[in-house]
Amino acid sequence: MKSGGASRQPLIAGNWKMYKTAGEGAEFIRALASSLGRLADRQVIVAPAFVGLAHAVEAAKGSGIGVAAQDVFWEKEGPYTGEVSAAMLADLGVKAVIIGHSERRRLFGETDTGVKNKVRATLDCGLLPIVCVGETEGEREEGRTEEVLARQIHTGLAAVRPEEAAQVVIAYEPVWAIGTGKTATPETAEEAMAFVRGQVAARLGESAARTVRILYGGSVRPDNVDMLMDQPDIDGALVGGASLALESFVRIVRFQRRRGSDG
Ligand code: PEP
């Protein structure tokens, strides 16, 4: 389907994983805000660990920088030791939640059904889900990339209504490119992301697919972000390692596109 990206605001999100104390995160956000100033044409989000969220929200006040959590549990409340609900995150001033990151799928048993439940709970609390999908190296070598992406999209978005597409972000992150220094070429990323958009169209309709934002993630750096952002289906980036250092993250946020804004 034709991408038609005119109305999709670019989004750069930094996933800090299990790095930075609460104080370090807050300091980083203050420095980021003063380096960036107010950016009208793009959205910036950082995702600290749970313990850093309150400090991060405080540090980001008035800057336009949004704060995301790296996970959430789908129940509203109850005897779920160690878990955090979407309502608790919303109450803190968090704006978004990364859901189904490949590290959570691989190391902590996250399933597509869990992703579906978390996406619903996140939307119900007015937060932006950033839903991660992507194939492993083995799945790509076996020619199963599309099968894996289709399954992750159809189950992960099963509880989303078509009119909610503008409040949903998908991050296509080929697992073999995360934290490895191996980036998908812009063409490989575009091919997979056009496929993802097609699956959103199949699940939620063409208008939803034109509205939903799709980020690329996997070793995004200052030297490759512009090329990636030139692709018609790439609406932004989910950045791990390069979001930890101010200089590289600022450069990534300041990506430049040579293509027109209509994709
Ligand atoms: C990520 O953690 O989502 C990620 C894309 O990491 P990196 O940029 O380090 O590959």
Ligand 1 in reach of 123 Cβ (< 6 A): no
Tens digits of residue pLDDT in 122-171:
999 999 999 999 999 999 999 999 999 999 999 999 999 999 999 999 99
Q: What is the pLDDT of residue 181?
A: 85
What atom in ligand 1 is closest to the CA of residue 220?
Answer: 8
- Provide the CATH number for the domain formed by 11-253 in this structure: 3.20.20.70
Dihedral in degrees, nearest 10, Cα atoms 146, 148, 150, 151:
160
Protein residue whose Cα sits closest to atom 1 of ligand 1: 240
At 3 the pLDDT is 62
Segments of the chain scoring below 70 in pLDDT: 1-6, 260-263
239 lines ligand 1 (CB under 6 A): yes
Q: How far apart are CA 116 and CA 114, in angstroms?
A: 5
Q: Which is the closest atom of ligand 1 to the Cα of 181? A: 10
pLDDT score at 83: 98
Distance of CA 221 to the CA centre of its chain: 16
Please enumerate in sequence order all residues whose Cβ is within 8 A of that of 55, keeping only pairs 6 or more positions apart, or say none.
22, 23, 25, 26, 48
| pLDDT the model gives residue 263 | 43
pLDDT of residue 72: 98
Q: What is the pTM of this model?
A: 0.96
What's residue 259's pLDDT?
73
